[in-house]
């Protein structure tokens, strides 16, 4: 854990707190290049805290940091009267509550937050500590002049926990919607954000027991995002499908 070269006192304080939370050592930057620090400290990875963003970097050049990515475009399309794939599949309304079991880069959580509005709630779970901390910070601090996007990001609540553990602790019918977007076994090569995320993400596939727990917790529906023609839809009982260009939403809907 370190800071940017041009760090301020509050950056150092943030780095100390983050290092303590992740149980990793904090190392002063002392105007050294990251490459030099990797060599001197015989390390291969680092988290860098700066005024602009928090990021994870490796010696091999891999870098992960938060960006709203496609959620910004999706919300803009919704504002113009378009239909988002999540909205079409879930039929999320203002005031609904959503449990996103797989935060990742946060795109679906941000769109869901826009859809439920100020009266609703989106809780996003992330099992991987680095992703959870960096995306939580990014959601709260990302700079944009688009107030609607900023408000949607800041309303998302993030919890660092495995959804298999959290779902078991939930009361029945405690959320309107439960969403799963597990990491695709074959990522979409054109998606830079997904390529960044895959190397840090939890690789475990969704299991039937978790789907059953989600069904208990959901009042309206359980959703699964997967690649088009994925066998997981059939195996896990998601028979109502809403295809998009490169993926599909599967829905298990409660009877109204």
Q: What pLDDT, in 10s, does the model give residues 157-189?
A: 999 999 999 999 999 999 999 999 987 444 444
Q: How confident is the model at residue 198 (pLDDT cuts 50, 70, 90)?
A: low
Residues in the chain: 256
**Cα torsion 239, 218, 236, 70: sign:** positive
Q: 116-158: per-residue pLDDT in tens?
A: 999 999 999 999 999 999 999 999 999 999 999 999 999 999 9
* pLDDT computed for residue 188 by the predictor: 46
Distances (CA, A) of 159 to 43, 113, 120, 127, 204: 29, 15, 17, 8, 18
| Residues 34-45: tens digit of each pLDDT | 999 999 999 999
Q: What is the DSSP string of 71-99?
A: HHHHHHHHHTT---HHHHHH---TT-EEE
pLDDT at 190 over 60: no
Where does CATH 3.40.50.150 sit in the chain? 70-253
As a whole number of Å, the end-to-end CA separation of the chain is 50
- CA 176 to chain centroid, in Å, comes to 19
CATH fourth-level superfamily of 70-253 = Vaccinia Virus protein VP39 (3.40.50.150)
């Amino acid at each position: 854990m370190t800071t940017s070269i041009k760090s301020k006192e509050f950056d150092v304080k943030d780095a100390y707190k983050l290092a303590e939370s992740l149980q990793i050592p904090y190392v002063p930057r002392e105007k050294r290049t990251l490459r030099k620090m990797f060599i001197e400290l015989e390390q291969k990875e680092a988290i860098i805290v700066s005024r602009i963003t928090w990021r994870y970097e490796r010696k091999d050049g891999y870098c992960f940091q938060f960006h709203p990515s496609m959620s910004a475009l999706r919300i803009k399309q919704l504002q113009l009267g378009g239909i988002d794939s999540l909205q079409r599949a879930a039929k999320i309304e203002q005031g609904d509550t959503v449990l996103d079991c797989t935060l990742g880069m946060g795109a679906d959580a941000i769109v869901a937050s826009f859809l439920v509005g100020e009266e609703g709630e989106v809780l996003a779970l992330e099992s991987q500590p680095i992703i959870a901390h960096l995306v939580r910070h990014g959601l709260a601090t990302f700079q944009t002049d688009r107030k609607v996007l900023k408000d949607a990001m800041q309303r998302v609540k993030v919890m660092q926990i495995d959804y298999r553990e959290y779902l078991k602790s939930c009361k029945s019918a405690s959320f309107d919607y439960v969403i799963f977007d597990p990491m695709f076994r074959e990522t979409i090569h054109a998606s830079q954000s997904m390529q960044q995320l895959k190397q840090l993400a939890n690789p475990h596939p969704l299991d039937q027991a978790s789907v059953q727990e989600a069904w208990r917790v959901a009042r309206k529906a359980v959703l699964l995002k997967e690649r088009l023609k994925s066998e997981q839809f059939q195996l896990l009982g998601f028979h109502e499908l809403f295809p998009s260009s490169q993926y599909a939403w599967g829905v298990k809907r409660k009877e109204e």
